[in-house]
Amino acid sequence: MYYSKKSTYPSLLTLEGAKEALEERYLAAVEALSGFDSRKTRLLEIANWIVRRNY
């Protein structure tokens, strides 16, 4: 089996740690966008897509 030598969040933080980091960054992004008006909608859609996507 081939293993990549690149650093990834799961390899550095464990899978659970990577999920926690993702959630923290997602919440920070949502909070950062709270001051925007309707222009934030597309950015929130992208953030939601990143967090909810499955491989």
**Does residue 3 surpass a pLDDT of 70?**
no
pLDDT digits (tens, 9 = 90+) for 28-48: 999 999 888 877 899 999 999
DSSP per-residue letters across 2-54: ----S--HHHHHHHHHHHHHHHHHHHHHHHHHTTS-TTHHHHHHHHHHHHH--
Global pTM reads 0.71
Determine the pLDDT at residue 2: 59
Determine the pLDDT at residue 4: 66
**Helix 9-33 to helix 40-52 angle, to the nearest 10 degrees?**
160
**Does residue 26 surpass a pLDDT of 90?**
yes
Question: How far from 46 is each of 6, 7, 18, 52, CA to CA, in Å?
Answer: 25, 24, 19, 10
Residue 45 corresponds to which tokens in the numbers above?
Answer: 């859609």
